C-alpha cells in the first residue's frame, strides 16, 4: 500500500503541480493559520498557544492552557481543530510529498531505496490528525482533566513534529542530490 502511494506521488510530481500546491500550502501557512491564531487569541482575550504548536508539554501544562483559553477560546480552538486544522495538514502533506517526489526523481535513480521516503510527510499528516482526535475531547471535556489523554496528545504531537522535521531534512537532502545531478531526471 505504501509503495502504491509513493508511486502515485511520483506519477503526479509535475513541476506545475508542485508550484500549484506551493501556492495552496503558502495560503494556508501564511494566511489562514495566522488568521486562525488571531481568532483564537481574540476569543481568549490574550495571546495563547494552541497545544498543536507546542512541542512538549505535561498534562498539567495542557490543562492550564485549556483554562487560559477561556470558554470562547476553547470554542474557537474546537472550530479550528475541526476545519482549518484538517485541511492544512492535507495541503502540507500533498505539497511536501510532491516536492520530495519531484526532487527525488532528479536526485536518485528509480531503483534507489531513498525514493520510498517521498511519503515521509504522510507520517506528519497522520499523526497530526490523530493528535487532533486526542485534543478535541480534551476541549470538550474541560474542566475535566484526562491525564492519559493529555499524555497521548503530547506524544502524538512529538511524533508529528518528528515526521515534519524529518520531511524538511529530506527536502534539503533531495535538493542537494538534485542540484548535484543538474536537476535532470534520473533514469
Compute the distance between CA of residue 171 and CA of residue 151 in angstroms, rounded to an integer. Answer: 30
pLDDT computed for residue 3 by the predictor:
93
Backbone angles phi, psi at 109, to 5 degrees: -70, 155
Instruction: Quote the pTM value.
Output: 0.94
Over range 156-160, report the average pLDDT.
98
* Residue spans per domain, the chain: 2-180
Average pLDDT, the chain: 96
Instruction: Count the neighbouring beta carbons within 10 Å of the beta carbon of residue 54.
Output: 16
Give the mean model confidence (pLDDT) for residues 60-70: 96
Average pLDDT (131-157) is 98
pLDDT band at 12 (very low <50, low <70, confident <90, very high): very high
Residue 115 is predicted with a pLDDT of 97
| Residue 107 CB contacts under 8 Å (≥ 6 apart), including other chains | 114, 173, 174, 175, 176, 177, 178, 180, 181, 186
20-52: per-residue pLDDT in tens? 999 999 999 999 999 999 999 999 999 999 999
SS3 call for 184: coil
Instruction: Using the structure block, give the residue that is written with the C-alpha cell 479550528.
Output: 80
Q: Which three cell numbers stand for residue 183?
A: 536537476
**Dihedral of alpha carbons 83, 48, 148, 160, sign:** positive
pLDDT digits (tens, 9 = 90+) for 103-140: 999 999 999 999 999 999 999 999 999 999 999 999 99
pLDDT of residue 29: 94
Average pLDDT score over residue span 54-74 = 96
Amino acid at each position: 500500500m505504501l509503495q502504491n502511494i509513493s508511486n502515485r506521488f511520483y506519477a503526479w510530481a509535475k513541476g506545475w503541480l508542485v508550484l500549484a500546491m506551493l501556492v495552496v500550502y503558502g495560503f494556508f501557512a501564511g494566511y489562514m493559520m495566522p488568521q486562525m491564531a488571531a481568532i483564537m487569541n481574540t476569543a481568549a482575550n490574550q495571546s495563547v498557544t494552541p497545544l498543536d504548536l507546542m512541542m512538549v508539554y505535561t498534562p498539567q501544562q495542557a490543562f492550564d492552557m485549556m483554562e487560559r483559553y477561556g470558554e470562547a477560546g476553547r470554542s474557537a480552538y474546537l472550530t479550528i481543530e475541526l476545519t482549518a486544522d484538517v485541511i492544512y495538514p492535507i495541503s502540507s502533506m500533498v505539497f511536501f510529498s510532491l516536492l520530495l517526489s519531484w526532487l527525488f526523481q532528479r536526485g536518485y535513480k528509480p531503483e534507489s531505496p531513498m525514493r520510498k521516503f517521498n511519503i515521509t510527510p504522510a507520517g506528519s499528516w497522520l499523526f497530526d490528525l490523530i493528535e487532533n482526535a486526542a485534543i478535541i475531547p480534551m476541549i470538550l471535556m474541560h474542566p475535566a482533566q484526562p491525564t492519559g489523554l493529555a499524555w497521548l496528545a503530547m506524544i502524538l504531537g512529538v511524533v508529528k513534529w518528528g515526521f515534519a522535521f524529518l520531511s524538511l531534512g529530506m527536502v534539503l537532502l533531495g535538493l542537494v542530490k538534485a542540484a548535484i545531478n543538474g536537476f535532470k531526471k534520473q533514469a
